[in-house]
Amino acid sequence: MLTGQKIVLGVTGSIAAYKSCELLRLLTKKGAVVSVIMTESAQRFVTPLTFKALGAKEVITSDWEDPDHTIPHIDATRDAALFLIAPATANILAKADQGIADDVMSAAILARRCPVAFAPAMNINMWQNPATQRNIAQLVKDGAIILGPAAGEQACGDKGSGRMLEPEEILELLEGAFTPRVLDRCRVLITAGPTFEPIDPVRGITNLSSGKQGFAIAKACAMAGAEVTLVAGRTSLKTPAGVRRIDVTTAYDMYRAVMNEVSRHEVFISVAAVADWRIANPATRKIKKGYTDTPELIFEENPDILASVAALENAPYCVGFAAETDNLIDNARAKVYRKRVPLIVANLVQDALGQDSNTVVFVERDQATPLARASKEQIAQALVAKIAQEVN
Ligand code: CTP
């Protein structure tokens, strides 16, 4: 929900300044309008041109040289939704704490009316120094947001706290802060990804689901304030921040995990591509070529997880997905009735598989609402809005 938000990115003199370039790129990609302020020492690490080329609306480096601004340190943050200083050195934290305004950056911090966030980046000893810790404590008291720092290997060779958070982590935190909490404290259980049915210890039957849509929904729910449990089939996707993840392999594992968890949840979103059938007699040892006749696979049916949840006495609000190759609305509506769920998100396989965007229709008993083609993230946000409407 960063679209159209005006953010001022303050870059101070730390080697982590190179990460701010990526941060700017990620923010503008999300639709934020980003102005940059750089200190003199920041310009020793990266140049204003780098930020300009990456899409900054403007780059302010001094109070004296920009003819577009009458008073840069005041105008820069006017109407801004957030002033984010990343990287924030020990020096800028100290100045912000004391209200020192001896350059365009520190003056802009003092003059701002919008919220301010700092992503500290410094050597571990500088971070742990009582002076820095005092400054941080005071800044928090004054309402500043402190993002990080992370621990790890530092540019100086030391190890420990002081590394700036990665740009993706900062982005995620900001997205969370800018998202309305329409599912505040709502407990949401989600299944995502493919299932895998073993034939023998090295082979199995799976499908082409990437898990991207389910993970995007887990992230959108968490950002909207929900407590999210994600039951995930095999995927290498990263767990979204704040989401509790349970990894499973087979459809039956997924069924057991869901049935174990569901009573604590108010919403169930079944995004996983669940195998309808499993191998009844998977071999315990690898099936060798030549030593047996052509193997025959005997199938037995897996439980329908979504239908089982929807049939529970105190069923949560259930959302299913339907990937169809044809007759989209009719097939999806048939699932609304067959699985007894209020909402099916339907899409055509050819529109979605392996892609980052999709075209979906919200199919309910009495209506079908098509959404314009959108990224899986945007679809997740639309679904969160729909669920919030239904459950609140
Ligand atoms: N689903 C489930 N458990 C299964 C099969 C499907 O929970 N064993 C869920 C999926 O997560 C999805 C919805 O049911 O939300 C529809 O899945 P889909 O595979 O399209 O439906 P099926 O019931 O398998 O119907 P068909 O294969 O005939 O299209």
Q: Is the model's pLDDT at 307 over the cut of 70?
A: yes
Per-residue pLDDT reduced to its tens digit, 193-231: 999 999 999 999 999 999 999 999 999 999 999 999 999
Same domain, 331 and 274: yes
Which residues are near ligand 1 (CB < 6 Å)? 191, 251, 270, 272, 274, 276, 302, 304-306, 320-323, 335
User: 51 and 196 in contact (C-beta within 8 Å)?
Assistant: no
182 within a domain of the structure (yes/no): no
Task: Report the atom number in ligand 1 closest to the C-alpha of 273.
Answer: 11
**Amino acid at site 365:** R
Mark residue 141 as left, alpha or beta (left: phi above 0; alpha: psi -120 to 50; beta: remaining): alpha
Residue 269 Cα to ligand 1 midpoint, Å, equals: 12
Single out the residue in 124, 147, 177 at which a domain terminates.
177
Residue 220 Cα to ligand 1 midpoint, Å, equals: 23
The CATH number for 129's domain is 3.40.50.1950
Residue 291: which pLDDT band, with cuts at 50, 70 and 90?
Answer: low
pLDDT at 1: 81
Domain that holds residue 44: 6-177
Same domain, 337 and 363: yes
Q: Is the model's pLDDT at 156 over the cut of 80?
A: no
Same domain, 218 and 341: yes
Q: Is the model's pLDDT at 116 over the cut of 80?
A: yes
- pTM for this one? 0.83
166 within a domain of the structure (yes/no): yes
Same domain, 241 and 102: no
Out of 197, 277, 304, 308, mutate this one to test ligand 1's pocket (max ligand atoms within 8 Å of CB): namely 304
Residue 124: which pLDDT band, with cuts at 50, 70 and 90?
Answer: very high
Per-residue pLDDT reduced to its tens digit, 62-82: 988 766 667 889 889 999 999
* Residue range 303-318: mean pLDDT, rounded: 98
What residue's CA is closest to ligand 1, atom 9?
Answer: 306
Considering only residues 152 and 302, tell me which one the structure prediction assigns the higher pLDDT: 302
What's the length of the chain?
Answer: 392
1 within a domain of the structure (yes/no): no
Same domain, 205 and 332: yes
Task: Report the atom number in ligand 1 closest to the C-alpha of 321.
Answer: 15
pLDDT at 78: 92
Same domain, 22 and 70: yes
Same domain, 214 and 267: yes
- Could you give the CA distance from residue 318 to residue 341 in angstroms, rounded to a whole number? 6
pLDDT at 193: 97
Out of 213, 256, 306, 336, mutate this one to test ligand 1's pocket (max ligand atoms within 8 Å of CB): namely 306
* Residue range 256-275: mean pLDDT, rounded: 98
Count how many domains the chain has. 2
369 within a domain of the structure (yes/no): yes
Same domain, 238 and 220: yes
- Could you give the CA distance from residue 8 to residue 278 in angstroms, rounded to a whole number? 54
The CATH number for 249's domain is 3.40.50.10300
Residue 152: which pLDDT band, with cuts at 50, 70 and 90?
Answer: confident
Which residues are annotated as catalytic?
Answer: 156
Same domain, 161 and 301: no
- Could you give the CA distance from residue 162 to residue 142 in angstroms, rounded to a whole number? 22
